[in-house]
């Protein structure tokens, strides 16, 4: 990562018991100072947590990835062009020459940590929030929680930093407008927090670098206090609205809408993370542009439309659950370009299901689309790449698309209308009774009997059944008993080789098992890039020199558990080289 120095050791960063342990390890360079700030008898003098990037010390501060001494101003192009300084803390531990045996955790259990060996000691640096934690783990309605870093050596406590507050953003209670009109959130850099469930007339975010956090167990719900926003070119009612143009926002928590839930104008380098919105006409609406931003771990359900995005550029939609929405679960309209949709489930009885319209260079990586009345429809797109799609009890429609690459796909059928230069590659699994319709276009990729045509070179597996694939009626994880789409991404017929940490990687994830799409990108067929780690290009595809997650299954579900503490396998270089490959410890429910 750009400015980081020294060598690093990843994995093994686990929780451990500190209470009742007074052992201080003094071999190999333990700290040896006297300081009364430690409550467990561990020396801490001179050992404290600081911002990794001095130019981005606070939450919602960002630095340029190309020069971490320079703060971002919001105009940077690319989702990985800015690094979130707020999530990146570090502490220098003087003495030890190697990270071997050392691990770290913060007392609040909020962050993942890694160790870097430098010439005179060790740097412990946070990679970011754990997937299971949010900003709500770090704040109350009235301020930041104190935190400390705990260091162990060979599983025993070695040192700790003082208990301190790590950021200086103002933390403010969310104004109570449960019996009044819509309110403005206008303190730049502030963290607005709601700790108990409450109804609201709505809020408008009026400055940059603001965070809105609904703490776990609380919910913000909407009542009708009249129009308070503009959505889709008309006056409307929004539970939360961000205004015309905002940068560096963070929104998190549970919301219940009656009209529009979250209405975004143009958002640059924003993070909408660990959010749940139910009810209303549209759960989450991006009315103008989503630019270089991430929507991650979003559950949008039981609304008219789950997620609508008018336009976007170089943004990411990850770990979405769009279920039970009566109209479009997902509606991506004109100019959603260089968009990544990954690790997501779209399910339920949506009348129109999912639409991707008028966009270029979109990547889908690990998507399950199930039990929808409508189809997954792609219209007037160029150079769509989709890998690891599981389309259950539904189909896909392509209208006037060019240069599509579909790899590792399961579907009950395809309707190809004016499809030009389509390519099916990897494995193509077709249930019994699968149907294909082809009309117009040149080299559409399939024939009307679902056999391969033109550029396609996929391995076809026909007559499969998905009856026992899923864990439950509304649980779209894969059943541990499934032998059709779970652990079958090698040839679609037999189980993949096992993933054993420290041993050679499964053959299905070898460096020569690759997909080449029609954007001339070459990537591992059965792995996804780990996002937001500051290493790769964050395009979702596993390429040389990146940290990646093994993908043994078709669709979104690739397993569960802590893959980092499990460690990596020995990657076998080929066309793709120097990959650190992780895998979930559990695959199937």
In the structure, what pLDDT confidence band is assigned to residue 432 with cuts at 50, 70 and 90? confident
Q: State what percent of residues in the chain have pLDDT above 70.
A: 92
pLDDT at residue 493 tops 60:
yes
In the structure, what pLDDT confidence band is assigned to residue 394 with cuts at 50, 70 and 90? confident
Nearest to 166 by CA among 207, 122, 110, 212: 110
Contact assessment for residue 288 and residue 310, using Cβ atoms and an 8 Å cutoff: yes
- CA 261 to each of CA 156, 228, 254, 258: distance values in angstroms, whole numbers, following the listed order: 47, 12, 10, 7
Question: What is the number of alpha carbons within 13 Å of residue 586 lying toward its C-beta?
Answer: 10
pLDDT at residue 9 tops 50:
no
- CA 357 to each of CA 318, 352, 400, 422: distance values in angstroms, whole numbers, following the listed order: 19, 13, 10, 17
In the structure, what pLDDT confidence band is assigned to residue 272 with cuts at 50, 70 and 90? very high
pLDDT at residue 395 tops 90:
no
pLDDT at 44: 62
Torsion angle in degrees (nearest 10) through CA of 380, 383, 389, 392: 20
pLDDT at 532: 87
Query: Is the C-alpha dihedral spanning 284, 203, 173, 61 positive or negative?
Result: positive
**What is the three-class DSSP state of 559?**
coil
Which pTM does this prediction carry? Answer: 0.92
pLDDT at 535: 84
In the structure, what pLDDT confidence band is assigned to residue 21 with cuts at 50, 70 and 90? very low
Give the whole-angstrom CA distance, residue 508 versus residue 496: 7
Q: Average the pLDDT over 256-262 and give the result.
A: 97
Q: What are phi and psi for residue 509, nearest 5 degrees?
A: -120, 25
Q: Average the pLDDT over 455-476 and give the result.
A: 96
CB count within 10 Å of CB 54 equals: 11
The size of the chain, in residues, is 589
pLDDT at 372: 81
- Residue pointed to by tokens 């041993």: 503
pLDDT in tens, 44-62: 667 999 999 999 999 999 9
With vertex at residue 220, the alpha carbon angle to CA 214 and CA 223, rounded to the nearest 5 degrees, is 160
SS3 for 234-254, per residue?
EEECEEEECCCEEECCEEEEE
Give the whole-angstrom CA distance, residue 177 versus residue 414: 50
Q: Average the pLDDT over 502-517 and give the result.
A: 98
Burial category of 1 from C-beta neighbours within 10 Å (exposed 0-12, middle 13-18, buried 19 and up): middle
Give the H/E segment covering residue 563: helix 563-566
pLDDT at residue 29 tops 90:
no
pLDDT at residue 12 tops 70:
no
- Residue pointed to by tokens 């460096």: 511
Annotated domain spans of the chain: 7-52+88-160, 170-314
Give the least confident one: 28-42, 164-178, 390-404, 438-452: 28-42
Contact assessment for residue 201 and residue 229, using Cβ atoms and an 8 Å cutoff: no
């Amino acid at each position: 990562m750009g400015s980081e120095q020294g060598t690093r050791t990843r994995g093994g960063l686990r929780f451990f018991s500190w209470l009742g342990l007074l052992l201080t390890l003094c071999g190999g360079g333990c700290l040896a100072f006297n300081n009364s700030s430690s409550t467990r008898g561990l020396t801490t003098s001179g050992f404290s947590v600081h911002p990794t990037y001095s130019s981005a010390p606070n939450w919602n501060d960002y630095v340029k990835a190309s020069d971490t001494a320079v703060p971002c101003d919001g105009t940077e192009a690319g989702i990985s062009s800015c690094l979130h300084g707020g999530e990146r803390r570090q502490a220098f531990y003087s003495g030890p020459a190697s990270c071997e045996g050392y691990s770290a955790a913060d007392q609040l259990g909020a962050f993942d940590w890694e160790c870097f060996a430098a010439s005179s000691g060790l740097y412990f640096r946070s990679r970011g929030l754990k997937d299971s934690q949010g900003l709500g783990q770090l704040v109350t309605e009235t301020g930041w929680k104190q935190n400390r870093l705990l260091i162990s050596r060979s599983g025993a406590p070695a040192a700790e930093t003082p208990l301190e507050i790590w950021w200086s953003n103002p933390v403010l209670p969310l104004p109570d407008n449960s019996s009044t009109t819509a309110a403005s959130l206008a303190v730049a850099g502030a963290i607005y927090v709601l700790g108990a469930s409450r109804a609201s007339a709505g809020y408008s975010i009026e400055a940059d670098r603001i965070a809105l956090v609904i703490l776990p167990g609380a919910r913000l719900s909407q009542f009708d206090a009249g129009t308070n926003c503009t959505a889709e070119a008309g006056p409307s009612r929004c539970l939360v609205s961000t205004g015309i143009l905002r940068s560096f926002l963070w929104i998190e928590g549970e919301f219940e809408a009656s009209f529009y839930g979250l209405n975004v104008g143009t958002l640059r380098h924003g993070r909408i993370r660990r959010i749940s919105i139910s009810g209303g006409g549209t759960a989450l609406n991006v009315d103008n542009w989503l630019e270089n931003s991430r929507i991650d771990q979003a559950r949008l359900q039981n609304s008219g439309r789950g997620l609508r995005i008018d336009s976007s550029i170089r943004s990411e939609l990850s770990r979405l659950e769009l279920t039970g929405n009566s109209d479009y679960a997902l509606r991506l309209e004109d100019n959603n370009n260089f968009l990544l949709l990954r690790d997501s489930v779209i399910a339920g009885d949506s009348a129109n299901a999912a639409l991707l319209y008028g966009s270029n260079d979109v990547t889908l990586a690990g998507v399950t689309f199930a039990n929808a009345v409508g189809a997954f429809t792609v219209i007037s797109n160029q150079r769509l790449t989709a890998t690891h799609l599981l389309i259950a009890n539904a189909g896909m429609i392509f209208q006037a698309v060019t240069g599509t690459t579909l790899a590792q796909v399961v579907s009950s059928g395809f309707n190809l209308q004016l499809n030009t230069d389509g390519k099916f590659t990897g494995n193509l699994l077709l249930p019994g009774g699968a149907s294909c319709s082809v009309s117009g276009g040149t080299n559409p990729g399939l024939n009307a009997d679902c056999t391969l045509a033109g550029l396609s070179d996929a391995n076809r597996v026909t007559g499969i059944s998905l009856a026992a694939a899923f864990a439950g009626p509304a649980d779209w994880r894969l059943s541990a008993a499934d032998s059709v789409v779970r652990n079958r991404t090698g040839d679609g017929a037999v189980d993949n080789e096992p993933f054993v940490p420290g041993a050679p990687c499964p053959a299905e994830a070898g460096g020569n098992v690759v997909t080449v799409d029609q954007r001339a990108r070459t990537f591992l067929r059965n792995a996804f890039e780990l996002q937001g780690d500051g290493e790769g290009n964050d395009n979702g595809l596993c390429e040389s020199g990146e940290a990646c997650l093994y993908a043994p299954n078709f669709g979104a579900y690739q397993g569960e558990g802590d893959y980092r503490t499990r460690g990596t396998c020995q990657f076998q270089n080929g066309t793709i080289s120097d990959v650190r490959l992780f895998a979930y410890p559990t695959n199937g429910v």
